[in-house]
Each structure stands twice: as structure tokens, then as C-alpha cells.
Structure 1
Amino acid sequence: MEGYFMHVSKKVADARFGKEQEEEKVYSVRELKSWKFWRAVMAEFVGTLLFVFLGCASTLTNPVNPVRVALAFGLAIMALIQMFGHISGGHFNPAVSLGLLASFQITIFRALFYTIAQTIGAIVGGMILKGATPGSFHANLGVTKVANGYTLVQGVGIELILTFCLVFVIVATTDGNRTDFGSISLKIGLTVAMLHFSCITLTGSSMNPARSLGSAVASGDYDTHWVYWVGPILGGCIATLLYKFLFMPHRGAISNEEATHKLLAEGDMIAIPRDYFTGSSEASSNGKKQETFKL
């Protein structure tokens, strides 16, 4: 029945918005002509801008409160995915976009323009935060650094592991073959908060090159900044590749919608909601003619 209802939902969505174009190849330029694509790019710009502003603003206390920072970043990404996830996918992170590119889940051009939008958005968000705060805060507007006593290689390793966990959660919770329900934004937001709780005192728990770039540009502090590009991008790519080619439980299986079409075509399943067949009691009492639901 679940597959049936997904099939019905898809048909209703097609009727409202038109059928989606067939999946783009990884090198396709066709989507560049679509307003939907550029709207998604703008969503990534605005979303990353807000993420940097809201998250980094939580660091402007003396001393920094790790719990406040962890919750701010986690709740911010939760809200932003609700705001923009249905428009762009809610990446707000080059490590996510490049990881999805590495596993052939988005096109080269989408990954490129998303990354550009994310980096520019992060810089603008950092500069807005700088303009909104007194000069006494400008030396450190949420800059991420490897803690004293840790080597840069260790910093790369920590960021790699943190981003691996984050991106693995993202691709696992958004797997179209999953049959369980729940809030994706809540799962990802809690993961971001948990990973901040884990290692914020070691590397700042960036997991996001754009987030680190925004605060670095606003503060004028690029010390060890390269760590926050190498570690997260490697972690994101490894996570998507491992999930797609090793851990994905239904790789190669047909989708729920395709399975429903197959069962209906073979006559192995008849599933007609009662209200579509008999009509609701309210409509019947009003003498309105009922129509059968046509698949």
C-alpha cells in the first residue's frame, strides 16, 4: 500500500507542477537553461549566508560556550533545510556538493555553481556579521583553528572523520529507497550538533569549507585554513562513494513507484482508496456526483 500511495502522490505532483525531466547526466549542460536550476543556486547562496551568520554569531561570547555553538549550528541547519531543502536539496556545504558529484548524483555544473554560491554566500554572511558587531569581536568571528598540541595532519584527520559522519547521515537519510518516515532536517540538524559536541574544542568542528572561509575572510585570519578544505572534502567524497557502492542496501533495485507501476500493470495489486470509489459521506449527502479515481 505504501508504494501505491507514493504512486498517487507522484501523479498528483505531476499534475500540479508538470513531470520532472529525466535525470541529467553528470556532464549535461541542459539544466543551465532552467530557471529551476538558477533558483536552486540562489537558494544555496542565501542558505549558506544565513548559516554562517547564525552559526558564527553564537561564538561571540567570552569565553565561547561550546553547547551554545553546537546547538546554534545544529538548529540553524535544521531550519535552513526546512526553508530551502525542497528548492536546492539544502547542501550549504561544498563538501556535500562535491561528495555528491564524486558519486555521480549531481552534475558537474550543479556542483560547480553550488560551490561558487556557497563560498560567496559564506563570505557575505561573515561580512554581514562583521558589520553587525563591535570592533572588539572582529579579530575572531568564529574562525576555526586546530587546537594547540595537535598537528595539522591530525586536524585534517579529525575534520575528515567528522565530515564523513555528517555526509554519510545525509546520503543515508535521503536515500529514495528507504521506507521509514521522519524529519530529514531534524536528523541532520541533530547530527551537526552532536559532531560539534564531539570535537569543537579540537578543530572547531567545521565540516564545511565555506563556513570556515566566511569567518576567515571576515576576521582576516587564514592560519591553518587549508585544513578545512582538505579534510571535509575528502570526508564528504569518501562517505558518498562508500554509501553508494558498498553500503546502499537497495542498490540496483527499482524504485517504489516503478514497483507499483509493475504490480498494477501485471494485475497483481488492486488498491483503490474507499473515498475515491464510494465518495465521502458529506459529498454523497450533498448529492454531488462522485468520480472514480483513475490510475
Structure 2
Amino acid sequence: MASEFKKKMFWRAVVAEFFAMSLFIFISIGSALGFQFPLAGNSTELTPKIAIQDNVKVSLAFGLAIATMAQSVGHISGAHLNPAVTLGLLLSCQISIFKAIMYIIAQTLGAVVATAILSGITSSLPGNSLGLNTLSNGINSGQGLGIEIIATLQLVLCVLATTDRRRNDVSGSAPLAIGLSVALGHLLAIDYTGCGINPARSFGSALIMNSFKDHWVFWVGPMIGGACAALIYDYILAPRSSNITDRMKVWTGGQVEEYDLDGDDINSRVEMKPK
């Protein structure tokens, strides 16, 4: 922990997580709220067809926003932008415990700040929920938990697969693939839970709205999904050859190759760069 604490690159990465998370939340939730603003002279009612289009719009907004932020800061922090992704990479022994804690704090603070700003900008919107995640009518907490687990599992599995340094067959853009996975998760879960595959994003809305009903679902579900994805990928689908003792050393000291001797080499980051 001490070695990471002293590295400039480490703190740049934490700041990158906060900044990118703030932009991600502002863009994605802002897009989700936009269609609800009444337009002058437009009395069109919300039909089922329009509702379907809105689901696609929101899903694409979240997916494209995460892809853009991943492309922007992936070489600095790895662009986790999600506590469930951070947990998955922690259990995969790719980051230290200290880094995971700091990332989750930065992500959560970024979500709260962005949601608070959105609250001020959209204060005139009637019935504004700021993207608050809630269980749909007819969906109980157990069912919602299952939806969140599956939606997050496929996301974290995608992150682990597309950023696996052992692969040489990955073509195209890893951030885009991850963005599409986020969009897919929203298309699956948005009608059931509002899609809470990002606990920090869910927390930001819940805190600003002061509404924590069933909020545990949006932490437990994604965290279980992220943990399961890491265990499935690392021990079943693509087992690693390194000794488990050596891998667990990463939890206390971080990965040596992540930093140069001075901690200033931005090109030493390779987490989001597929070979």
C-alpha cells in the first residue's frame, strides 16, 4: 500500500476515476431525463412505441458514455467507473485492495457530485427522479437481485475478456465492446429495475433523492455479479498460470508493471489496451 500511496500515477488514476465518473453520470442520466421535458406546442402522449424508443435511447446513452470515458481515461486508471468492475478486477488479483477502496470512493463521490449538479439543472422537471433505481411493479427484491446479477456478470465478464493481456486475438476497440455490454445490460434490466448494474450511479441518485427503498439490491446484485464473473473467467474459462501466492501479493502492493520507477510514465498503463 505504501508504494502505491507515494506514486503520482496512482493519485492521477484516482482523480481520473472521479472525473470520468462525474462526466459519465451527467451525460447518461441527463440523456435519460431529457425526453421527459415538455416541448412547447407538443402535446404528444407517451405511447408504448415511444416508451420502447426511450429505452433504446437510454441504453445507448449509457453505453456510448461509458465507451467514451473508457477511451478517454483508460490509459490512466483502467476506466473501471463501476464498483462492481473494480471488485471483479480485485478478485482477479489485478489491482490492490487499497486501489480498489480508493477507486470505489472516487466513483461514488463522482456519481454524487454529478447527480447533485443534474438536480439543480433539472429542478423544473416535474416528477424528476434523477434516474433513481426502483423495482418495477410485480418485481420483488429477489427477482430484481437476479436481474442485477446477470446483467452485471455479462458486463464484468466482457471487461475481463477484452482487457486480458494474454490475448492477441482482440481486434477493434475494447472501450466500445464494454460500452455495448453496458447498453446490453440496460436493455435487459431497465424495465425491471431501471438497471442498477453500477452501484455508485445508483447511490448518487438515492442520496440526492433521499430514497433508499430496496437500495441494497443495487449494491448486492452487481457486486455478486462482478465477483462471479471474476471467478468464472479466472478459474474456469481462462485460468491463469501464475502462482496464487504471487497473484495475491498484488492485493498488498499492486502490479509492478503498472508503474515505472518514478510513477510518471503514462504509457505504462495498458489495462484498457487490447493487443
Q: Flag whether TM exceeds 0.5 (same fold).
A: yes
Check whether the contact 1:71–1:193 (CA below 8 A) recurs between aligned residues. yes
Deviation of residue 138 (structure 1)?
A: 6.3
Q: Deviations over 1:154-188 (max 9, x none)?
A: 11111011000000000001111111222001101
Deviation of residue 204 (structure 1)?
A: 1.3
Q: Distance in 1 between matches of 2:208 and 2:63?
A: 22
Which residue, 107, 111, 119 being the options, matches 2:96?
Answer: 107
Q: Secondary structure at the match of 2:192?
A: coil
Report the equivalent of 1:208: 198
Deviation of residue 152 (structure 1)?
A: 0.3
Check whether the contact 1:159–1:232 (CA below 8 A) recurs between aligned residues. yes
Identical pairs, percent: 49
Q: Distance in 2 between matches of 1:149 and 1:235?
A: 23
Q: Between Structure 1 and Structure 2, whose CA radius of gyration is higher?
A: 1
Listed as ranges, the matches of 1:244-259 within 5 Å are 244-248=234-238, 251-252=240-241
Listed as ranges, the matches of 1:1-295 within 5 Å are 28-60=1-33, 61-62=35-36, 65-137=54-126, 139-180=128-169, 181-248=171-238, 251-252=240-241
Q: Name structure 1 gaps, 5 residues minimum.
A: 1-27, 254-295
- Structure 1 pair 137–106 and aligned structure 2 pair: CA distance change class (3 A): farther
Q: Distance in 2 between matches of 1:134 and 1:145?
A: 20
Q: Distance in 2 between matches of 1:230 and 1:68?
A: 27
TM-score, structure 2 normalization = 0.78
Check whether the contact 2:148–2:222 (CA below 8 A) recurs between aligned residues. yes
Q: Deviations over 1:4-40 (max 9, x none)?
A: xxxxxxxxxxxxxxxxxxxxxxxx4311110000000
Deviation of residue 107 (structure 1)?
A: 0.2
- Structure 1 pair 137–247 and aligned structure 2 pair: CA distance change class (3 A): farther
Q: Name structure 2 gaps, 5 residues minimum.
A: 37-45, 243-275
The structure showing larger relative contact order (alpha-carbon pairs under 8 Å, at least 6 residues apart) is 2
Shifted more, 225-234 versus 130-139: the winner is 130-139
Q: Secondary structure at the match of 2:133?
A: coil
> How many residues end up aligned between the 2 structures?
225
Shifted more, 97-106 versus 156-165: the winner is 97-106
Code of the residue aligned with 2:214 in structure 1: it is T
